[in-house]
């Protein structure tokens, strides 16, 4: 049973009930049930089969029946009924930052607005500000949220696109095994962009028509947009578009390079090829109208006198010049990561126990883990007071004594208050191995004030690293404005690290600023911010972003051994 999907559905049911103005107790029951499922450690499938789901705290008879239905079918009929009873435009409004179900219901009931477009028009006519409980500031924020939503329309998280791409590749390779010679995902997904539009594939095949047929009839295809022996486009049930380009095997490396992009990189490559007396496009690399045979992408770069440019770097940000001079970085790889820092447990808002998270990290080949539950002021996330901290530290000590070579570091994700101070007094902060300082409240401060707030936290002697630097939630919330250069300079001066939060909705610090941190000598820590065991695997998205930011193994903090990490932590404390 997909526990994460079940919790998500229960949470959505609660939200849909809020939109309909249902009984607050009923609404709360679904939200509480979602939390209960996330934190439940027992075998849900067994409980469903034995009819004992109602014995789980927070799960009553009615809810247990819906969970049992999900266990059997993968669906909850009640959710489908609720979803279909509410206009799509109203549920789309939930994607607007700061606009919750109660406000949306008020807008719908008082102004009969059912679409985001209608909401935008009402804002521009000043109708929203006049509603009770809204005002000019709320109206202004709604317009900002709509602008952000529109800018990202048709885009998806790399995690969602990656899952779909892997699914499609698996099916295509299985069904077309006697036909497909080579097939790869291309486009922005291959370049590890944080947001993905269409999923692009390139394949070489002996019978293109049959490959097009298989692609068009894939499970999960909602509509076939176009179909032919060289290109087929489909719309998937989840809303994404997927395209496949089918070429001969001789054309495959050229097509893979071209359809990986970016457009800016391709343009720069064509200009460079022209300067060498050559011509390149998706069909080949030509010299005096003769195609230069290339079996792989590397052969193409070799023919041009360039080092191989990894897909992640193909953004026309100096990669061609670096390849020409032999100065491309040796990018960090998944295998270089030695441990997972910034991990949550059921002590705060995580769904897995401390021993389970440690065991899962060790199973993945890591030699250490850094526990960073929320600090006490984050009461909404089960923040740890001093008594809970004491209990957690005792458990960590016990586990460290038993686990031998695997190290569990005592950390905390401490809230940065609006004045720049961080949660807990110095006496408590001094007992942690490391402190991740993060902002979770008061996002609307000015750029100057927010920058000063973070810099003060950087200067706190107990701070080890700054977590999710801009607070952005991709496709949901823009990050707060900060002066990145000043913060990076402050971290360089204080010897502090910056987190690259690997959660697919964050991927923060943005890859575009990784180069500046590298230049200033600031170590980046690729952290999972895992709230369950599966969340540990999000590190791969952070590594992709680190590669996109030109980072090497030496630039990433957690490529170091447990002993080296401890030394880094200790050196920060020695400066007090």
pLDDT at 485: 98
Strands 290-291 and 284-287, sheet pairing: antiparallel
Residues 363, 432 within the same domain: yes
| 293 and 319 fall within a common domain | yes
Specify whether the CB–CB gap between 10 and 34 falls below 8 A: yes
Domain boundary among 295, 324, 353: 324
Query: Could you tell me if 147 and 52 lie in one domain?
Result: yes
Instruction: Indicate if 230 and 286 belong to the same structural domain.
Output: no
210: number of Cβ within 10 Å:
17
**Contacts of the segment 278-283: beta carbons below 8 A, 24+ positions apart:** 278/303, 278/304, 280/254, 281/254, 282/245, 282/247, 282/251, 282/254, 282/255, 282/257, 282/258, 283/251, 283/254, 283/255
Query: Do 550 and 522 sit in the same domain of this protein?
Result: yes
Tokens encoding 126: 């000043």
Asked if residue 329 is part of any domain, the answer here is no
Q: Quick one: average pLDDT of 363-380?
A: 96
Q: Cα separation of 114 and 483, whole Å?
A: 38
CA dist., res. 397 & res. 394, Å (int) = 5
How many domains does the chain fold into?
4
Task: Inform me whether the pLDDT recorded for 116 exceeds 80.
Answer: yes
Q: Determine, yes or no, domain membership for 146.
A: yes
Angle at 264 between CA 149 and CA 318, to 5 degrees: 110
Domain ranges, residue 277 = 253-324
Tell me which DSSP letter residue 462 carries: T
Bridge partner residues of 232 (DSSP): 244
> Per mean pLDDT, which range of 139-153, 344-358, 432-446 is the poorest?
139-153
180 plus 268 within the same structural domain:
no
Same domain, 121 and 232: no
Whether 408 maps to a domain, the answer reads: yes
Integer Cα distance of 103 and 101 in angstroms: 6
Residue 269 domain-assigned (yes or no): yes
The sign one gets for the Cα dihedral 87, 91, 92, 94 is positive
Q: Is 41 contained in some domain?
A: yes
Instruction: Please indicate, yes or no, if residue 141 is contained in any of the structural domains.
Output: yes
CATH of the domain at 300: 3.30.210.10
User: Of 298, 316, 315, which Cα lies nearest the Cα of 307?
Assistant: 298
Strand ranges (E), 364-439: 368-371, 407-415, 434-438
pLDDT in tens, 394-427: 999 999 999 788 999 999 999 999 999 999 999 9
Neighbour tally for 226: CB within 10 Å: 11
Please state the separation of Cα 566 from the chain's center in Å. 28
CATH number at residue 160: 3.30.460.10
504 located within any domain = yes
- Three-state secondary-structure class, residue 413: strand
How confident is the model over 167-190, as pLDDT tens digits? 999 999 999 988 999 999 999 999
- Both structure tokens of 241: 């578009």
Query: Does residue 4 surpass a pLDDT of 80?
Result: no
DSSP state of 384: B
Q: Which among 368, 310, 376, 387 is positioned nearest to 348, based on CA atoms?
A: 376
Same domain, residue pair 230 and 359: no
Average pLDDT on 340-356 reads 94
Same domain, yes or no: 480 and 395? yes
Q: Residue 1: its pLDDT value, please?
A: 65
pLDDT score, position 498 = 98
Q: Same domain, yes or no, for 11 and 66?
A: yes
Environment class of 50 (CB within 10 Å of its CB; exposed 0-12, middle 13-18, buried 19+)? exposed
Percent with pLDDT over 90 in the chain: 82
CATH number of 520's domain: 3.20.20.140
Q: Cα-flanking dihedrals φ and ψ of residue 217, to 5°?
A: -110, 20
Q: Does one domain contain both 262 and 372? A: no
3-state helix, strand, coil in the chain (%, to 5): 50, 15, 35
**Looking at the structure, do residues 462 and 313 belong to the same domain, yes or no?**
no
Using the 3D structure, point to which of 151, 173, 197 is the last residue of a domain: 151
- pLDDT for residue 435: 98
pLDDT of residue 351: 86
Distance (Å, whole) CA 50 – CA 501: 40
Instruction: Kindly report the average pLDDT of the chain as a whole number.
Output: 94
User: How many C-beta atoms surround the C-beta of residue 110 within 10 A?
Assistant: 13
Model confidence over 252-299: pLDDT tens digits?
A: 999 999 999 999 999 999 999 999 999 999 999 999 989 999 999 999
> What are the tens digits of pLDDT across the range 315-341?
999 999 999 999 999 999 999 999 999
Q: For 233-252, how does the pLDDT look when each residue is reduced to its tens digit (9 = 90+)?
A: 999 988 999 999 999 999 99
Out of 324, 343, 361, pick the residue that ends a domain: 324
- Give the whole-angstrom CA distance, residue 532 versus residue 349: 9
36: phi then psi, degrees, rounded to nearest 5: -65, -40
Nearest to 22 by CA among 122, 102, 112, 123: 102
Domain presence at residue 493: yes
pLDDT surpassing 90 at residue 561: yes
Mean pLDDT confidence for 19-28: 91
**Rounded Cα gap, residues 386 and 388, in angstroms:** 6
Instruction: Quickly list H helices, 20-97.
Output: 24-39, 44-50, 61-73, 77-84, 88-93
Nearest to 189 by CA among 241, 138, 249: 241
């Amino acid at each position: 049973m997909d526990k994460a999907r079940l919790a998500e559905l229960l949470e959505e049911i609660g939200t849909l009930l809020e939109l309909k103005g249902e009984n607050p107790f009923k609404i709360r029951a679904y939200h509480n049930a979602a939390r209960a499922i996330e934190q439940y450690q027992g075998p849900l499938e067994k409980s469903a089969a034995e009819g004992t789901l109602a014995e789980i705290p927070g799960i009553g008879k009615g809810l247990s029946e819906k969970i049992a239905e999900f266990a059997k079918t993968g669906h909850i009929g009640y959710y489908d009924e609720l979803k279909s009873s509410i206009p799509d435009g109203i549920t789309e409004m939930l994607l607007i930052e700061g606009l919750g179900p109660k406000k949306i219901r008020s807008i719908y009931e008082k102004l009969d607005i059912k679409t985001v477009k209608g909401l935008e028009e009402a804002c521009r006519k000043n109708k929203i500000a006049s509603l009770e409980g809204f005002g000019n500031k709320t109206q202004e924020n709604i317009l900002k949220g709509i602008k952000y939503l529109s800018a990202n329309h048709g885009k998806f998280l790399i995690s969602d696109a990656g899952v779909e791409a892997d699914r499609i590749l698996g099916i295509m390779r299985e069904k077309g095994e006697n036909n497909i010679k080579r097939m790869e995902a291309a486009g922005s997904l291959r370049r590890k962009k944080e947001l993905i539009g269409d999923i692009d594939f390139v394949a070489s095949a002996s019978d293109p028509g049959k490959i097009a047929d298989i692609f068009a009839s894939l499970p999960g295809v909602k509509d076939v947009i176009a179909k032919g022996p060289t290109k087929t486009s489909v719309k998937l049930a989840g809303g994404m578009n997927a395209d496949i380009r089918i070429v001969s095997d001789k054309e495959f490396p050229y097509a893979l390079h071209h359809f990986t992009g970016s457009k800016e990189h391709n343009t720069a490559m064509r200009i460079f090829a022209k300067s060498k007396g050559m011509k390149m496009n998706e069909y080949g690399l030509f010299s005096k109208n003769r195609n230069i045979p290339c079996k792989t992408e590397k052969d193409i770069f070799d023919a041009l006198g360039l080092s191989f440019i990894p897909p992640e770097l193909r953004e026309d940000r100096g990669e061609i010049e670096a390849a020409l001079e032999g100065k491309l970085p040796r990018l960090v790889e998944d295998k270089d990561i030695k441990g997972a820092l910034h991990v949550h447990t059921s002590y705060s808002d995580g769904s897995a126990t401390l021993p389970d998270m440690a065991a899962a990290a060790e199973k993945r080949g890591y030699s250490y883990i850094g526990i960073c539950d929320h600090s006490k002021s984050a009461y909404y996330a089960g923040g740890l007071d001093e008594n809970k901290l004491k209990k957690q530290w005792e458990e960590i000590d016990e586990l460290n004594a038993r686990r031998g070579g695997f190290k569990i570091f005592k950390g905390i994700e401490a809230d940065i208050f609006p004045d720049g101070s961080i949660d807990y007094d110095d006496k408590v902060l001094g007992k942690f191995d490391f402190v991740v300082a993060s902002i979770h409240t008061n996002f609307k401060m000015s750029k100057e004030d927010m920058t000063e707030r973070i810099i003060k936290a950087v200067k706190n002697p107990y701070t080890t690293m700054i977590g999710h630097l801009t607070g952005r939630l991709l496709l949901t919330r823009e990050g707060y404005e900060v002066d990145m250069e000043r913060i990076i300079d402050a971290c360089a001066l204080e010897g502090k690290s910056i987190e690259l939060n690997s959660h697919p909705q964050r991927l923060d610090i943005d890859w575009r600023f990784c180069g500046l941190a590298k230049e200033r000598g600031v170590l980046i820590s690729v952290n999972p911010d895992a709230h369950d065991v599966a969340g540990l695997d999000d590190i791969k998205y952070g590594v992709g972003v680190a590669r996109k930011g030109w980072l090497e193994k030496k630039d990433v903090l957690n490529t170091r051994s447990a002993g080296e990490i401890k030394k880094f932590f200790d050196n920060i404390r020695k400066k007090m």
